[in-house]
């Protein structure tokens, strides 16, 4: 669920959204985007990735993994090990380092740290969430074929016509 609540412009993505992803294993991941307010959305970091084993908080200086503990009728032991990774002291923020690496690789023709396949995989969830919001449908995803199995309308939204003269392959 979500929509555009804060900024009235021509964007096609929401400023506020929450989506739940259910995996074949039964595990859940929740995606949330909360840009309708200037207040911090999370207790720490700029991105929160919450799963059944723990939560990852990400910002431009690093990330932290906080283990999930059992609820009232469950084992209270943490379900995974905590982890905190900070950018090296004196380094640029991670977004700037990522952009610099990409531009350096455009010039040198070297493989970037986050190549196209990583970019494709890391945007799949947000794209699926946006398509689900547009179609107002719970969608089932076939990762191997990269298609929805229960919505032709959603599959039509996986690709769009590129502006001339741009094209793929």
The reported pTM is: 0.71
| Mean pLDDT, range 135-154, rounded to an integer | 96
Q: Which pLDDT value is given to residue 41? A: 66
Per-domain residue ranges of the chain: 1-86
Output 50 or 27, whichever has higher pLDDT: 27
pLDDT-derived band at 39, boundaries 50, 70, 90: low
155 burial via Cβ count (<10 Å: 0-12, 13-18, 19+): middle
User: Would the pLDDT of 70 be above 90?
Assistant: no
Q: Which pLDDT value is given to residue 80? A: 86
CA dist 94 and 58 (Å) reads 10
Q: Give the torsion through C-alpha atoms of 50, 7, 119, 26, to 10 deg.
A: 30
pLDDT in tens, 89-124: 777 677 888 899 999 999 999 999 988 898 888 889
Per cent of the chain over pLDDT 70 is: 94
Q: Which pLDDT value is given to residue 65? A: 92
């Amino acid at each position: 669920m979500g929509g555009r609540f804060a900024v009235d412009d021509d964007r096609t993505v929401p400023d506020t959204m929450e989506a739940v992803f259910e995996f074949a294993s039964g595990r859940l991941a929740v995606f949330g985007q909360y840009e309708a307010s200037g207040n911090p959305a999370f207790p720490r970091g700029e991105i929160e990735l919450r799963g059944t084993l723990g939560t990852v908080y990400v910002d431009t200086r690093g990330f932290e993994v906080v283990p999930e503990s059992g609820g009232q009728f469950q084992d209270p032991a943490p379900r995974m090990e905590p982890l905190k990774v900070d950018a090296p002291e004196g380094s640029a923020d991670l977004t700037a380092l990522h952009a610099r690496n990409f531009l350096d690789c455009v010039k040198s023709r070297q493989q970037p740290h986050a190549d196209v396949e990583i970019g494709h995989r890391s945007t799949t969830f947000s794209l699926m969430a946006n398509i689900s919001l547009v179609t107002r449908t719970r969608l089932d995803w076939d990762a191997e074929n990269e298609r929805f199995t229960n919505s032709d309308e959603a599959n039509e939204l996986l690709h769009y016509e590129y502006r001339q003269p741009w094209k793929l392959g």
